[in-house]
Amino acid sequence: MRYLVLIGLIIGGLLGYYILWSHLADLVAAQAETWIEGQRRQGREVSYESRRIWGFPYRLSLTLNKAKWSDPRLPLAPRLEADEITAHLQLWQREHVIFDLPGRQSVTWRSEGGAERKASLAADRFRASLVVDGAGNWLRIATDLTKPHLQGPADSAMRGEWIADKLLLHARRAGNVPPDLDLALQVDQGLLPPQAEKPFGRAVQGLRLTGNLRSGFYGTTLEDRLASWRDAGGVIDMSTIALTWGDLVINGTGSLAIDRDFRPLGAMSGSAAGALRVIDALQASGLIDPSNAEAAKRSLLEQEERPNSKGLPLRDIALTAQDGRLSLGAVPLLSLPSVLPGR
């Protein structure tokens, strides 16, 4: 009799757990549909071909096939498409969502001249996570891509295939008034498209950036949004700038904003190895005139050379972006165009 009672309790517990899981699965499906309807009421377009809820008994998983999202009201009217999106939720931690995005994703937008541009992304593994608060406001976003392949628009400076062994991107909401975001980017073993061969080569061995973006973006066009960010004191403070690109190795800190003509405005200080060879490469490419190249090299040679932990000879550097020009110390190097397309 005791065994029968025990078996009955086990069966009852399993049945109760399945009923609970089914109830939560229905809630997740209803919340997804509520979000979609909310997006549509705000003028956005959201659709998918099929939906599947699975994951019993350990988690709740929602898969959407051929999902599409677009907002014709935003600057450039972006449209996102994904072969498949799966969201995983733990039953006891529904504020933390893990996303898997197999297959290919694409983004389509319209340039300032009205032409349609499209970029697509595929990766061996594309996983992302989202943490929200009780009101549904996002707190943290993270993406982790293994061997991503980005195909840029055919008729733009981003054309061709951009490849990396690893790509990590993190964002954390640090404050709401004014808007304040902590950001981090890491790229390992990147390979640029053929048109980026000069002056440093196609292989970017490593890039790591960490910093804080202050102020928000408002308006209906890209120019309006950048102007609102600039006029509200928008700036990106970089606590880590680490780049290894061919002969060039840079480590430092800095800040970046934009000026009244939407050109980069900022400063960076730190140390560099291979800077003399980089200046020669820039001169050979016609990006620096010979007199400025010689002055920049003299400025570098005045700095004491010291080896880092790997034996690379480092020199101190100070770069500034102001009045549409990038300078090394007091020596002008390059002209800096507007960050707005077509300007």
What is the mean pLDDT of the segment spanning 210-235?
89
For residue 72, the SS3 value is coil
Residue 306, judged by CB atoms within 10 A of its CB (0-12, 13-18, 19+), counts as: exposed
**Confidence grade of residue 213 (pLDDT, cut at 50, 70, 90):** very high
Nearest partner of 337 among 177, 11, 185, 326, judged by Cα: 326
Q: Which residue has the tokens 């970046």?
A: 256
What is the mean pLDDT of the segment spanning 137-156?
91
Q: Give the span between the Cα atoms of 214 and 233, in whole angstroms.
A: 8
Query: Which stretches within the chain are classed as H helix?
Result: 2-41, 222-231, 275-284, 290-301
Q: Give the span between the Cα atoms of 56 and 73, in whole angstroms.
A: 39
CB-based contact 132:95 (threshold 8 Å) = yes
Strand partners, 97: 89, 130
Query: Tens digits of per-residue pLDDT, 295-321?
Result: 988 888 888 888 777 777 888 999 999
**Confidence grade of residue 67 (pLDDT, cut at 50, 70, 90):** very high
Average pLDDT, the chain: 88
Nearest partner of 145 among 173, 191, 186, 182, judged by Cα: 186
Alpha carbon 293 to its chain's center: 33
Per the document, the length of the chain is: 343
Q: What is the pLDDT of residue 175?
A: 77
Residue 163, judged by CB atoms within 10 A of its CB (0-12, 13-18, 19+), counts as: middle
**Confidence grade of residue 126 (pLDDT, cut at 50, 70, 90):** very high
Cis, peptide link before residue 341, omega less than 30° from 0: no
**Number of CB atoms found within 10 A of residue 187's CB:** 21
The number of CA neighbours under 13 Å toward the Cβ of 312 is 15
**Confidence grade of residue 286 (pLDDT, cut at 50, 70, 90):** confident
Residue 42, judged by CB atoms within 10 A of its CB (0-12, 13-18, 19+), counts as: exposed
Joined together, the tokens standing for residue 56 give 């019993």
Does the structure show a pLDDT above 60 at 60? yes
Angle, to 10 degrees, between the axis of helix 290-301 and the axis of helix 275-284? 180
Q: Give the span between the Cα atoms of 207 and 336, in whole angstroms.
A: 21
Does the structure show a pLDDT above 80 at 5? no
Q: Give the span between the Cα atoms of 48 and 229, in whole angstroms.
A: 34
Q: Give the span between the Cα atoms of 57 and 252, in whole angstroms.
A: 49
Q: Which residue has the tokens 């002055």?
A: 295
**Confidence grade of residue 205 (pLDDT, cut at 50, 70, 90):** very high
Model confidence, pTM: 0.86
What is the mean pLDDT of the segment spanning 109-122?
84
Query: Tens digits of per-residue pLDDT, 229-253?
Result: 999 999 999 999 999 998 889 999 9
Query: Tens digits of per-residue pLDDT, 69-94?
Result: 999 887 778 999 999 999 998 877 77
Joined together, the tokens standing for residue 308 give 């880092």
